[in-house]
Amino acid sequence: MILILRILADILWFIKPVNISVNIILLIPFLRQIKRGKIRKSLLGQILKYMVLIFLLLFIVSYCRDISTGSTKLIFKIAFSFIMFYYGTQYKGDLEIFLKKICNFSIIGLITFFFLSFIPASYQNWGDKNTFVGLYYFKTDMALSIVIFLSFAIIDNIKKMYLFLLTIISLYLIIITNARIHLLSFFFLICLRVIPNSIFNNLRRKLLYVVPIFIFISLLFLKLYFEHIASADTLKVSFSEEELFSGENTQGRNVIWLSVLDGFFKENGINKIVGTHLLQDEEYVYKYSKLSHNAHNGYLFVLVSTGVIGLLLFLIIIFIIFDRLINLGQMMFDFNLLRKNEFSYKILFITIVHLFVFVITNLTNNSILFQQQTWFFMFFAGILYNKKVINQIINL
């Protein structure tokens, strides 16, 4: 239920009390469990526990170095996302019913967005391009919601014809948002859905050739689309060597990234190791390029805020979660669970999709701060360590 409320809060972004209320709804049960000491045993390893705690501690230190309204908002966003991870490890409801509710809600959401795409008020001018934003303020938020909804709708037990229509609708909606990074998210989502369950068998070995093949096919798909199919209202990408990292291709992000790196490399040794403060990336951008933007890259944001140590911890935490996903996938394949019941496959599918989307979108946005995205990723990452859910899957 809390994830559905998160979606509604993001759609109603202009009503701040709604967003605050959703965060409070998440916080209250967490504090009650801590106070009563009713923390259920999870499958979290000690290494991951300590890494998460140190990572959060680095962010708290970063926050304390420059306490302001802006930095307070950021630290709460980060903290609540990790509370959602904890919530996933402790979740004791019926996850199958929970997934079914989200799937139904997602189908309704996609259909609603489709009808909104015919309303002129749902569009904004992005430069000289007419861009679909729906009920959101930014086109990226709109595209992200489409990807999230599709990831759940695509695992629902509906007729293949309806599933195909929802997929086409989603692709159309992502295209008119001009959020190009989510074309890649869409392509990955569809590829993973059509690949047989056997992909989870010896996945570590398969990654050596699956990843290069996926990168090649996805780049070919994007190249063909932007050069031969895209309409005049589409923000295009040039794949020529001279323009690959141009301002037009990156929408000015190349200047922002260079400004952030330039500022960070001029910091003293201590700041490089443990970071500066939560709004430092914005100060770098304004100082070196006179632009009012954040880093537009989650990894750069983590690097500047928590230093080299924080970035390493961040990458290792992601790797450990992915490794857990691979191990569970192998176990489920070995016990033939992926064929016996769809529930086990759905858990793996949803988690790996949201992990990929989180990793890839952090390249062009501070996605670690997008609760609309991190809550889903963190919750299902936590589910991988939920003893009750894993036992339920094994015993089915």
* pLDDT per position as a tens digit, 185-230: 998 888 888 887 777 788 888 888 878 888 888 888 877 877 777 7
Torsion of CA 158, 160, 164, 166, to 10 degrees: -10
Q: State how many domains the chain has.
A: 1
Distance CA 6, CA 9 (A): 5
Please indicate, yes or no, if residue 70 is contained in any of the structural domains: yes
Q: What is the pLDDT of residue 220?
A: 84
| Residue 132 phi, psi dihedral angles, 5° rounding | -80, 125
Q: What is the pLDDT of residue 213?
A: 84
Q: Is the dihedral of CA 100, 345, 357, 383 positive or negative?
A: positive
Average model confidence (pLDDT) across the chain: 85
Please indicate, yes or no, if residue 54 is contained in any of the structural domains: yes
Q: What is the pLDDT of residue 67?
A: 92
Token pair for 134: 């729906």
3-state secondary structure 100-145: HHHHHHHHHHHHHHHHHCCCHHHEEEECCEEEECCCCCCHHHHHHH
| From 127-136, 239-248, 309-318, 369-378, the region with the lowest mean pLDDT | 239-248
pLDDT band at 243 (very low <50, low <70, confident <90, very high): low
Please indicate, yes or no, if residue 223 is contained in any of the structural domains: yes
Please indicate, yes or no, if residue 7 is contained in any of the structural domains: yes
Say whether 394 sits in a helix, a strand or coil. helix
Gyration radius of the chain over CA positions: 21
**156 pLDDT more than 90:** no
Q: Between 33 and 396, where is the model more confident?
A: 33
pLDDT band at 387 (very low <50, low <70, confident <90, very high): confident
Please indicate, yes or no, if residue 133 is contained in any of the structural domains: yes
Please indicate, yes or no, if residue 240 is contained in any of the structural domains: no
> Average pLDDT, stretch 262-273?
92
Please indicate, yes or no, if residue 192 is contained in any of the structural domains: yes
**116 pLDDT more than 90:** yes
Please indicate, yes or no, if residue 255 is contained in any of the structural domains: no
Residue-range definition of the domain harbouring residue 112? 2-227+263-395
pTM of the model: 0.91
**231 pLDDT more than 70:** yes
Beta strands in the chain (DSSP E): 123-126, 129-132
Most confident of 112-121, 187-196, 243-252: 112-121
